[in-house]
Amino acid sequence: MDQDLPIRVIRGHKCAGSYTHKIYTYDGLYKVDHCWNERSAFGFNVFKYRLQQIEGQPKLVTNQVDFARQLVSKGCSELNGLVCKDISGGQENIRIPATNVCDVLPVAPSGFKYIKSNRVPKNVIIPPNAPGCNCKGKCTNAEKCSCARLNGNDFPYVHHDGGRLVEPRDVVFECGPRCGCGPSCLNRTSQRGLKYQLEVYRTKDKGWAVRSRDLIPSGAPVCEYIGILRKSDELDNVSGNDYIFDIDCWQTMNGIGGRERRLRDVSIPSSNHAKERNDHISETGPEFCIDAGLYGNVARFINHSCEPNLFVQCVLSSHHDVRLARVVLFAADNILPMQELTYDYGYELDSVTGPDGKIKELPCYCGTADCRKRLY
């Protein structure tokens, strides 16, 4: 941190698996450009910031830095507006509390059953487990690991913070059930469940939303979108369901439907029969989707934003059929505690029609500077 940046840093104690921090600039002329946390010699989790001076402001000459210590907020049972201690009912390895300070008569999220893994109906056939690598313990040699070869002869994750994705990709191949490595392998990063203390909370104009009570580093997996795997052509029988997530991995890989191509291409294994079927897809939509209307996890409460802080990453682990890829949400940048988590729902304008054949319009309330004003 530059010595001429006046800043007051407050250290936080760990409590109930979460941290808090505050940061104040004496004159308001700086913005946070980057943040990270480190464990101090005394066991505190210290949040550090790199500040960037706002353009056009005079340079300051003071080197004053004032450190103060502050306890974090109390445990989840004492959260303001707490309406549910854990919406997962103990299924996740970290509790997910829900708070509501907006409604006159505060209510908890309802109308769905929490599940931790996708449900598969009888008419959806999951491919058999794909052949795995022969690595032992952990995958470390990209030249010898067959899973690394599927990722362009490299591992998609780095070791920082328990595993972080280097960059968004068309698809990430993780180690699966038939691999020789164990559960601590870096190439199983997205399979380890929640690592950050998430909170579902009520908003005034967007319904329920999700925020993290921890700092989430860039590239870290946040959660997987979970629900019932469905064939997309079944959606004609689903009305009023706003929790449908199209598995559009193949469309993204080929830039179909206006989707933005990722920087890194991958080669689908030649033994994968799904590739032959998908070669015939042109402008048709995804064949499968995830329906979180009645069964889902915390991801169903994450709102859309035109400038999101999460990105969608398709992940293949047990099999290599891109039509049925896992949908995982990763941090697009460092996300500060108590900041709402959002991702781009990816609708094209005028792409949604109602039962009467007329185009449906839904306003967007993300409030960002570049808001498109409409979700679809």
**Domains of the chain and any CATH numbers:** 7-70 (no CATH), 150-195+214-343 (2.170.270.10)
Q: Give the residues across from 327 on adjacent strands.
A: 314
The pLDDT of residue 6: 40
Better-predicted residue by pLDDT, 15 or 326: 326
Closest CA to 312 of 267, 336, 346: 346
* Cα–Cα distance, 297 to 293 (Å, whole number): 10
Q: What is the pTM of this model?
A: 0.77
Write out the two tokens for 163.
């595993």
The pLDDT of residue 71: 36
* Cα–Cα distance, 40 to 204 (Å, whole number): 39
* Cα–Cα distance, 374 to 109 (Å, whole number): 25
Closest CA to 115 of 240, 289, 294: 294
Please write the tens of the pLDDT for every residue from 61-109. 544 443 333 334 445 667 899 999 999 999 999 999 999 999 999 999 9
The DSSP output letter for 359 is B
User: Across the chain, which distance is largest between two alpha carbons, in Å?
Assistant: 69
* Cα–Cα distance, 12 to 189 (Å, whole number): 27
* Cα–Cα distance, 372 to 353 (Å, whole number): 19
Beta carbons of 100 and 201 less than 8 angstroms apart = yes
Q: Residue for token digits 């990209």? A: 142
Please write the tens of the pLDDT for every residue from 236-261. 655 467 899 999 888 877 777 656 65
The residue type found at 102 is C
